[in-house]
Amino acid sequence: MTPAAVLRVGFVGLGQIGKPMALRLAAAADVSLVVHDVAPEPLRELADAGAEVAGSVAELASRVEVVCVMVRDDEQVREVLAHVVGSAQAGTVVVVHSTIAPQTPGQLAGIAEGHGVVVLDAPVSGGAIGAADGTLAILVGGPDDAVARVRPVLELMGSKVVHAGPVGAGTRFKLARNMLHFVAFTAATEAQRLAEAAGLDLRALGEVVRHTDSITGGVGAIMHRETTAPLAEDDFWHGVFSHVRALGEKDLAFAVELAESLDVDTPLARLALERLGPGLGFRDGAGAPPRPPKEK
């Protein structure tokens, strides 16, 4: 391979997820990696893996074509970008992997544009495990040409790279994904309270959830439509989701009844019982299963 084929990449932020991402870049033959962090230990580990260490963000930016950023929050991302634009060559692409506020990517891109630098927002999903084995989902917002330019770098760190749209779209994509993630976590804690009150083994419940989700796909199993508009009766998904709704409302009703008998508060379950049908695309009770009268 000729030196011209090697892409010069910088990585700023070697934390729990950033470090394994950077290690994958360090192992790539077609990447020349420069890293920076405020902590010395991950820098030593990256140096041992073949990366060069820069003493500052500005130094790093002056030596690379692509700067990957995985720091803690919006404030730190802004600080890193301020150092990058002061030293980077025109045409440098800054890839922000941190999850930041939805308005921040556009603001960063506006700042960088005045210096000839391009900003992409590219938050990741998959955690430290996905970072270590290169199976992250990387959700990218930004112009087509810049995304195409950095895609080979991203594909070294993630097995699913989605160009979500213009700058900011990657962040919006990640926030939608994580909203589902943490609402589901909250629902899991509600289910645990019900199971505990019913005298069940919580660890066994967790094992069953993980087992069945690995078969069915979990909540992602219903996410196939291209729109959230109401379902037409001749839509393929009308029949499928009628079945989902019938099962869901039956089981939710039973679960809420059990919770009430055990004096366990399950607000998410009650809300789900109310909103499952409309959320699936049924309007005004269409597709709702008949409910037996509640015993007195």
- Report pLDDT for 166: 98
CA distances from 284 to 203, 279, 287 (A): 39, 12, 9
% residues pLDDT > 90 (the chain): 94
Residues 202 and 194 sit within 8 Å (Cβ to Cβ): no
- The band of 1, judged by pLDDT with boundaries at 50, 70 and 90, is very low
The answer, yes or no, to whether residue 89 has pLDDT greater than 60, is yes
What is the pLDDT, as a whole number, of residue 5?
72
pLDDT band at residue 123 using 50, 70 and 90 as cut-offs: very high
Q: How far apart are CA 155 and CA 175, in angstroms?
A: 21
Structure confidence at residue 294 (pLDDT): 53
Structural domains of the chain, ranges and CATH numbers in brackets: 3-173 (3.40.50.720), 224-296 (1.10.1040.10)
Catalytic residues: 174
68 pairs with which residues across the strands? 11, 95
Mean pLDDT score, 106-125: 98
**Taking the alpha carbons of 54, 59, 60, 64 in that order, is the dihedral positive or negative?**
negative
pLDDT band of residue 293 (cuts 50, 70, 90) is very low
* Residue 137: predicted pLDDT: 98
Mean pLDDT value of segment 270-278: 97
Report whether pLDDT(287) > 80: no
Identify the pLDDT of residue 192: 98
- For the question of whether the overall pTM of this predicted structure is more than 0.75, the answer is yes
pLDDT at 150 over 60: yes
The answer on pLDDT for 165 being more than 50 is yes
Q: In Å, how far are 14, 23, 31, 110, 111 from 156, measured between CA atoms?
A: 16, 10, 10, 28, 28
